[in-house]
Structure 1
Amino acid sequence: MKQVIQNFKTGELYVDEVPAPALTKGMVLIENKFSLISAGTERSTVKVAKANLLGKARQRPDLVAQVIQNVRKEGLKATLEKVRTKLDTLKALGYSTCGRVIASMDTNHFFKPGDRVACAGQDYASHAEVICVPQNLVVKIPDTVPYEEASFTTLGAIAMQGLRQADPKLGETVCVIGLGLLGQITCQLLKANGCKVLGIDISESLVQLARNLGADDAVQRSDANLMAMANQFTNGYGFDSVIITAATSSNDPIELSAEITRKKGKVVAVGAIKLDVPRDPHFYRKELDLRLSCSYGPGRYDTEYEEKGIDYPYAYVRWTEQRNMEAFLQLVAQGGINIKPLITHTFDITEAETAYDIVTGKRQEPHIGILLHYPDNDSKFIHTKIIQHNGAAQQQIEAGFIGAGSFAQSYLIPNVKNFGGGLKVVVTSKGITAQNVAQKFSFDSASSNSKDVIDNKEINTVFIATPHNSHAPYVIEALKAGKNVFVEKPLAMHEEELENVKACYMQQGGRLMVGFNRRFSPVASALKQNFKGINEPLVMNYRVNAGFIPKDHWTQDEQTGGGRIIGEVCHFIDLMQYFTEALPQTVFAQCIHSANSVNKNDDNIVINIQFTDGSVGSIVYVATGDKALPKERLEVYGGGKIGIINDFRGGEWYSNNKMVKLKMEGKGHTQEVHAFLNAIKEGHPSPISFESMYATTKATLKILDSLHTGLPQQI
């Protein structure tokens, strides 16, 4: 299918063929008819991508802070690789579209094939021939509303939420500062609400358009009579409310709004403006009420609502994102909003570059509402794209990837490639991501269908790097297909899943590896050699300053990520197994009990483990610590010797009353992948036994049982 793409590293914007997205639970698959280019928002997005590295840093200081923190934790080299991976990505543009439902897996069974729908959401309602959108960001279009006008629905919902924050009453005077697309819609909504409306903008053409579309009056910001007009418009009282829909780095809109608002009036910021709020003379002396409007309405940035489809109760949250979208379309259907005059350009999807030249000012042309049209095209539904490369020699190992997020792109795919493995097919749920990864690493093809990897006879090795809840099912499918399988941790999220994997492995055989990389790190390997020959139990103390992850992150979700014990603590249990060469036998865990709703109690836990050889280990896993302390420290005691790993950036060895510093960096990602691929090439078993990987996974599940029961658990 065709999609508008921007390379975030180079800033290049173009239309390309990418695989169609895959339909999953809670989503609606839609064939786009029209999409709206939101000039203000998308101009800013494109501008950031086109900036050089210094320009990007200036515009995103929050990301610069993350980079600096990562350098402290992982070192400069590892951080540079992460930054390069992040920058070298393809970005989807657009967030307001409409079209026809192809298929739906919404949990309410509300949407049917053929339904006319409008859609919202960055990275969902993209400028693409086919999109897959969460159910709560899709609404049906009334029969009398044409597709062209329905494509404005997301902008309409944003304007509507701004009004709800202003809460204007019948007959009140309201000023709208900024008469772009959002401002024009806002003026019309206010008129439909029975308000007296004045518009302000720097552009004379937009001022005139507002007058033509029903505003009581409009004026240029540079007009010397602006203050006198505002005074006369409100009979000297000032505006009951001012809604700012402008987008500017200037502080002028917030200062002007305070000056023209009546005492105890409201100022609502909808657009992206500078918010340097001057206390005197107006905000303080008038006791003004400053409100911010959050995009389309309640539900925005709430993963439970947007991604999982959990709606808010109608009686308690009357206006959600979806209900704002529905209300806007009803107003359009009733003639309360006139959209047609706002459409200045319509381009075919193949002409999108020209459309963006207008948006960015490269092509000087008056504009306000620019639409992209998607003509009928049967090839748009193809889920696989062949990537053209110069012919390369075939390798013995031919790999397919199911899932290719930042981790896979940083630590798995490059190491398969530098080993000499062939990269056949990469699969992700979003076609643009698969396309990006395929081009970046020279895969033969990109797809959004996992069957293109599982059923491909040329692929002998499958890498699985998807969300945790899909690991076990994909492992079973791949083993049954006779593939070598590398799966990122965890192996399974529930005991039933784990037993199903075990049954499949026992029946099918094959080579299976879980991504427990720390045992392959240079410092761990060196210490293991030093402990060789010590025939007595070890005492191990593992401190993990894990850092805070909010409860709404996907890894914390019980259904998708399983939480941090299943998703990360498995690493530390595996490394202890590596040193003891024994299996975990008993676990006992206790976590904090905090009334602070921000904290997740079992992210702060102490775990005691006894191993079959008599060794014992303690894991102190903390999410409430300070970031300045390095993340991991492992101390291993035994045979009169001590080995210490300091965050996998070095270590210490104590023996015969002497200490030796070990200067070795890396968490073993390269060595792990190469060990697995070497085992395949040389016909050896997996570098980690299935018994060990099974026991590690079982131990994490038993840790959860111990927390629930308050008792030690046998593995």
Structure 2
Amino acid sequence: MKQVVQNYRSGELTLLDVPVPGCKPGGVLVRTGYSLISTGTELMKVSEAGMSMLGKARSRPDQVAKVVQSVASNGVPATYRKVMGKLDSYTPLGYSLCGVVEQVGAGIEDVAVGDLVACAGNEHALHAELNWVPKNLYAPVPDGLAPRHAAFGTVGSIALQGVRRGEPQLGEVALVIGLGLIGQLVVQLLTASGVRVVGADPDPERCELAAGLGAVACGDPASAAVETAVAELTDGHGVDQVYLAAGGGSNQPVELAARLSRDRGRVVDIGKCRLDLPWNAYYEKELDVRFSRSYGPGRYDPEYELEGRDYPIGYVRWTERRNLACFLDLLARGRVDVEPLVSHVAAFDEAVETYQRLKDGGLKAVAVLFRYPERAVEPEAVAVPAVRRDATAPTRARAVDTPVRLAFVGAGNYATSMLLPHLATRDGVRLSTVVTTTALSAANAQRKFGFADATTDLDSVLGDPAIDAVFVVTRHSSHADLTAKALLAGKSVFVEKPLALTEEELAVVLDAVEKSGNDRLQVGFNRRFAPLLQEARKRFGTRTGPASVRYLVNAGRLDHGSWYLQQGTEGSRFAGEGGHFVDTVSWLLDADPVSVYAAAPSGNEDLQIVLRYPDGSTATLSYVTSGAAGFPKETLDLVADGKVLQLDDFVRASVYDGRGKRWVSSRLPRARDKGQSAELAAFVRAVRSGGPMPTPLESLVTTTAATLAVQAGLAGGAPVTLARPR
């Protein structure tokens, strides 16, 4: 299928062929009929992509701050790869469309195949021929409403939520500053609410359009016409509400809002305009400044948007989905008219040319629609059934000159910045297929790393006998299930941590090993492969007595909205990451833990974990989120036999022996090497030779069980003994 994408680094816009998205549970697959270009939001994104690197940095200071923090934690080269990987990727455009339901996922009962729906979301209602849309981001289109009008649903919801934040009442007077697409809709919604509206915009054509849609008066904000109209309509008191629907870098809208508001008036920011509030003007009138967050309550909440968990109507009357349905109802009943706003309708095949005309000013428009073919590319063929190897057959070594063929399930940030760069340039490796649920991610990975094929069909990959190994680099909640499927299909498997989030999930993996006889499994516990740590362990030498280990992990705070915070589905943060540190200690001590004790200080998420080992060694693991951002992430001390090994965040290591000698590594000149490259090399060698996996299965299982035992230890307040899983 085709999708409009943009390379944020180069600014290139293109109509890309990408795999058809899969129809996951909790949503529907929609074939797009019309999608709407947001001439404000999308053109701002397109313009930013055309800026220099300095211009991009100036326009997104929040992202610059994240880059600085990443440099402190991960070093310049790793951060550079991560940033450039994001910049040099295709990103989607679009967030408002109307289309026909083509497939219905499990758990969906309110729509059926063939139903017309309006869809929302900058990850789900894209300019693409097919989109997978979760339940709370679509709404059925009322009978009689034209699909091209229903495509305005998302933008209409943004305007509707802004009006709700202003709390208009019958007989009030409102000022709408900025008469672009959102402003024109706000004018109509206010008029339908019994509010008299004054519009302000420097474009006379937009002023004329707003007047035709219900505004009492309109004019250039720099002229006296707007102030005169406000004075006449309010007897000189000022407007009750001001809606900021303008963009750009001028502070004029904010100043005009203060000048024309009544005492204790309401100012609602809907657009993305400059907000240098003139303190005296806002203070003297005690103005109520409010922000309108996109489509309404539920926006940016992954449990609402992705998992379909609705808010009770008694507590949250108007959610994203209810706003969408309400706006569609207003359209169907003729209370809002979007047809006068349609400046241009372009065939989807002309998408790139249309954006260019908008950007260059050759096409002046309030709203532009893409019209899609009635039938686009047919869905991909039904998957080939998985081919399972004989469970009793030994693993065969490959010929030295035959490449090891790899498939990736998942192509997110970690896969594309920390794994694939090492594999794409490795001799004797062929990147065969990348599988993602989002079609564009697969296409990006295929383009950047040279995969032979990209798809959203996992079964076809598992059933392909030509593929030797499968990398599972998806969200944590899917690791165990995908690993089990790949093992049952006879593949060697590299799964990123964690292997499992529950004991039940771990049992699923072990059952797959038992049923298939296939134990060709490696988990991405890469730190034991780090060259610096390997050298320090060698310098420390053989240990004879019990050891004491202290491992401080300064994990730091997560950004709001991070999927790591979705503990209901993705497990706790430690369950997802903690296996790294347990595995590192176990490798240093050359043993697996026998018990786990965990405690957490009251009021925060910091964890103190004590691991005990068969020979009496102990390891104290402090996993903290409340530390200073500038402090190193990982520091480790191992003490035994009169010797001390120290590791400083994979930048420097040292060993002090009992004879007063000291070995100190040279500071790494480039970056922290946490062992990803060496681990991948070891995995590829094992697949090629048929030899043992780099880390014994027993160790992987025990590390996972120890990580899971932390939660049980917190709940019980006592040490948890580790019994070997069956």
User: TM-score w.r.t. structure 2 length?
Assistant: 0.94
Tell me whether 1:288 sits opposite 2:287 in the alignment: yes
Alignment partners' CA distance in 1, 2:545 and 2:247: 69
The match for 1:642 among 636, 641, 644 is 644
In the alignment, what sits opposite 2:392? none
Q: Deviations over 1:92-151 (max 9, x none)?
A: 000000111112236452121111110111121000000011211111111111000000
- C-alpha distance 378-372 of structure 1, shift in aligned 2 (>3 A): closer
In the alignment, what sits opposite 2:389? none
The match for 2:567 among 558, 565, 579 is 558
- C-alpha distance 209-552 of structure 1, shift in aligned 2 (>3 A): closer
Q: Deviations over 1:52-111 (max 9, x none)?
A: 211111111111111111112222122111112111111100000011111223645212
Please show how residues 159-558 of structure 1 align to structure 2 within 5 Å. Answer: 159-280=159-280, 282-360=281-359, 362-382=360-380, 395-420=402-427, 421-507=429-515, 508-549=517-558, 553-558=562-567
Alignment partners' CA distance in 1, 2:533 and 2:237: 74
Alignment partners' CA distance in 2, 1:384 and 1:159: 42
Q: Deviations over 1:634-673 (max 9, x none)?
A: 1111122111111011111111212221135410010010
Alignment partners' CA distance in 1, 2:209 and 2:294: 24
Q: Deviations over 1:336-395 (max 9, x none)?
A: 1111111111111110012212321x142331110001112352523899xxxxxxx984
Listed as ranges, the gaps of 5+ residues in structure 2 are: 384-399
Alignment partners' CA distance in 2, 1:193 and 1:503: 62
Taking only aligned residues, the RMSD between alpha carbons, in angstroms, comes to: 1.7
In the alignment, what sits opposite 2:140? 140
Alignment partners' CA distance in 2, 1:561 and 1:317: 26
8 Å contact kept, 2:634–2:648? yes
Q: Deviations over 1:606-646 (max 9, x none)?
A: 11111123221110111111111101011111122111111
Tell me whether 1:682 sits opposite 2:689 in the alignment: yes
- 3-state DSSP class of the match of 2:314? coil
In the alignment, what sits opposite 2:581? 572
Alignment partners' CA distance in 1, 2:225 and 2:361: 33
Opposite residue 296 of structure 1, the aligned amino acid is: Y
| Greater displacement, 122-131 / 473-482 | 473-482
8 Å contact kept, 1:395–1:422? no
Opposite residue 409 of structure 1, the aligned amino acid is: T
Alignment partners' CA distance in 1, 2:16 and 2:77: 33
- 3-state DSSP class of the match of 1:549? coil
Please show how residues 566-605 of structure 1 align to structure 2 within 5 Å. Answer: 566-594=575-603, 599=604, 601=605, 604-605=606-607
- 3-state DSSP class of the match of 2:570? coil
Opposite residue 686 of structure 2, the aligned amino acid is: A
- C-alpha distance 380-368 of structure 1, shift in aligned 2 (>3 A): farther
In the alignment, what sits opposite 1:389? none
8 Å contact kept, 2:540–2:655? no
Alignment partners' CA distance in 1, 2:710 and 2:474: 24
Alignment partners' CA distance in 1, 2:287 and 2:203: 28
8 Å contact kept, 2:27–2:108? no
The alignment-based identity, stated in percent, is 40
Alignment partners' CA distance in 1, 2:511 and 2:303: 34
8 Å contact kept, 2:198–2:226? no
Alignment partners' CA distance in 2, 1:452 and 1:56: 40
8 Å contact kept, 1:130–1:381? no
Alignment partners' CA distance in 1, 2:378 and 2:444: 18
In the alignment, what sits opposite 1:11? 11
CA positional deviation for 1:553: 3.1
| Greater displacement, 154-163 / 555-564 | 555-564
CA positional deviation for 1:486: 0.4
Alignment partners' CA distance in 2, 1:187 and 1:384: 49
Q: Deviations over 1:532-583 (max 9, x none)?
A: 3322222111111111126853223334321122111111110111111111
In the alignment, what sits opposite 2:66? 66
- 3-state DSSP class of the match of 2:599? strand
Alignment partners' CA distance in 2, 1:537 and 1:321: 58
Alignment partners' CA distance in 2, 1:366 and 1:86: 31
In the alignment, what sits opposite 2:114? 114
Opposite residue 660 of structure 1, the aligned amino acid is: W
Opposite residue 518 of structure 1, the aligned amino acid is: R
Alignment partners' CA distance in 2, 1:530 and 1:244: 65
Alignment partners' CA distance in 1, 2:475 and 2:465: 25
CA positional deviation for 1:690: 0.1
8 Å contact kept, 1:401–1:453? no
8 Å contact kept, 2:645–2:653? yes
CA positional deviation for 1:530: 2.3
Q: Deviations over 1:280-336 (max 9, x none)?
A: 2x3222222111111111111122211221111111111111111111111111111
Alignment partners' CA distance in 1, 2:116 and 2:225: 47
Q: Deviations over 1:577-615 (max 9, x none)?
A: 111111110111111121xxxx4x3xx111111112322
- C-alpha distance 354-200 of structure 1, shift in aligned 2 (>3 A): same
In the alignment, what sits opposite 1:22? 22
Alignment partners' CA distance in 1, 2:586 and 2:571: 22
8 Å contact kept, 2:487–2:513? yes
The match for 2:635 among 624, 633, 636 is 633
Alignment partners' CA distance in 1, 2:107 and 2:558: 28
User: TM-score w.r.t. structure 1 length?
Assistant: 0.95
Opposite residue 628 of structure 1, the aligned amino acid is: G
Opposite residue 375 of structure 1, the aligned amino acid is: P
8 Å contact kept, 2:300–2:561? no
Opposite residue 415 of structure 1, the aligned amino acid is: H
Opposite residue 660 of structure 2, the aligned amino acid is: N
- 3-state DSSP class of the match of 2:40? helix
Alignment partners' CA distance in 1, 2:381 and 2:297: 34
8 Å contact kept, 1:130–1:380? no
Alignment partners' CA distance in 2, 1:639 and 1:485: 38
CA positional deviation for 1:242: 1.3
CA positional deviation for 1:423: 0.4
Alignment partners' CA distance in 1, 2:553 and 2:519: 34
8 Å contact kept, 2:405–2:468? yes
